[in-house]
């Protein structure tokens, strides 16, 4: 087993507990905010693995990020380079492009920050701070240790977007 760096975030205990019912509801097409399913081939087994994640979609662009660092789905997506995304029973194959450090900072500053601030009563910013452990008011810190990917439709990826 590979040791996790000391500053690497870890998945809170409640996430795996909530993932099982969320996965069932999302497979049934129940709307759950930004959440949908991502299915990625395992990097060692090749077996498709499905997990609920939040998809951030703005102006026709779509991203996914991991608040808990190097989760298995992150490593699988990095290795596979593509995934199947299911949102409200609509499935689509996408190519994943991992954001570098500068792009992650821009993502937290220009995408996540404004998105969180649009949620009334400061709930979006508070949620990200309390549950996901990031402060969107400090994008450089938020980007540190939090992998993010832009998900491109296959046609866009082939066109070189």
Kindly indicate the confidence band of residue 160, based on its pLDDT and cuts at 50, 70 and 90: low
Global pTM value: 0.85
Rounded to whole angstroms, the Cα distance separating 28 from 44 reads 29
Domain count, the chain: 1
pLDDT tens, position by position, 1-18: 444 444 556 777 777 788
Which pLDDT score is estimated for 130? 84
Q: Tell me if 23 is assigned to some domain.
A: yes
Q: What is the mean pLDDT of residues 31-57?
A: 95
Which pLDDT score is estimated for 129? 85
Contact 77, 112 (CB under 8 A): no
Contact 66, 74 (CB under 8 A): yes
Q: Tell me if 29 is assigned to some domain.
A: yes
To which residue do tokens 């992150």 refer? 74
What CATH number has the domain bearing residue 135?
A: 2.30.110.10
Contact 76, 70 (CB under 8 A): no
Kindly indicate the confidence band of residue 157, based on its pLDDT and cuts at 50, 70 and 90: low
Q: Tell me if 47 is assigned to some domain.
A: yes
Q: Tell me if 1 is assigned to some domain.
A: no
Q: Give the domain extent around 113.
A: 14-155
Q: Tell me if 114 is assigned to some domain.
A: yes
């Amino acid at each position: 087993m590979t040791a996790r760096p000391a500053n690497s975030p870890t998945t809170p205990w409640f996430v795996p507990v909530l993932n099982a019912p969320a996965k069932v509801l999302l497979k049934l097409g129940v709307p759950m905010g930004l959440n949908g399913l991502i299915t990625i081939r395992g990097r060692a087994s090749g077996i498709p693995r499905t997990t609920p994640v939040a998809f951030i979609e703005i102006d026709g662009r779509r991203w996914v990020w991991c608040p808990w660092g190097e989760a298995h789905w992150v490593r699988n997506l990095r290795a596979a380079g593509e995934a199947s995304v299911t949102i409200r029973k609509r499935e689509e194959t996408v190519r994943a492009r991992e954001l570098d450090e500068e792009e992650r900072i821009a993502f937290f500053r220009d995408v996540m920050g404004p998105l969180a601030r649009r949620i009334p009563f400061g709930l979006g910013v508070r949620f990200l701070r309390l549950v996901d452990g990031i402060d969107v008011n400090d994008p450089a810190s938020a980007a540190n240790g939090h992998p993010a990917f832009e998900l491109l439709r296959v046609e866009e990826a082939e066109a070189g977007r």
